[in-house]
Homo-oligomer: A and B are copies of this chain.
């Protein structure tokens, strides 16, 4: 697949995910082994200290891992496991996550993703994740 085909497939999958839609998730850019996604921050995504809920950050990291690693193995890929370290409170205008495949085989890809919070146009690293994306047979 070309990068354009990968991004088109990614947009089709994202549009078919009700939960990702409700978060306002958008694909910024995708290509073989990489994905950049973003979520605009609003009060509905916060916790009791008025910061973005860690679950939103983890969800965006998970999606960046899966959208970076999935196309290498075909449409039916799922996150098998991941680990995330939270580095900074999620306060700002939007979240951006960039996933990048570290290594991949026939049935699995190991992927990293960094999540940034954008404050007044400046990106600040907010969380970093590492995980495994596994192919699933959907036929």
Main DSSP-derived SS at the A contact region: mixed
Cβ of B110 and Cβ of A53 under 8 Å apart? no
In the assembled complex, how far is the CB of residue A56 from the closest CB belonging to chain B, in whole angstroms? 6
Cβ of B59 and Cβ of A53 under 8 Å apart? yes
Instruction: With CB as the reference atom, state the residue of chain B lying closest to A102.
Output: B128
In the complex, the 6 A-B pairs of residues with the closest C-beta atoms, listed nearest first: A55-B59, A16-B48, A19-B53, A83-B83, A81-B85, A87-B103
In the assembled complex, how far is the CB of residue A59 from the closest CB belonging to chain B, in whole angstroms? 3
Cβ of B17 and Cβ of A48 under 8 Å apart? yes
Select which of B79, B82, B87 is within 8 A of A102 by beta carbon: B87
Give this chain's copy count: 4
Complex CA gap A47/B53 in Å reads 20
With A83-B82, A128-B102 already in contact, the answer to whether A55 and B46 are too (CB < 8 A) is no
* A–B complex contacts, Cβ < 8 Å, 25 sampled: A16-B48, A17-B47, A18-B45, A18-B47, A19-B53, A20-B53, A20-B55, A23-B55, A49-B138, A54-B59, A55-B60, A58-B82, A81-B81, A81-B85, A81-B110, A82-B83, A83-B130, A85-B130, A85-B132, A87-B103, A88-B103, A102-B125, A103-B125, A110-B128, A130-B130
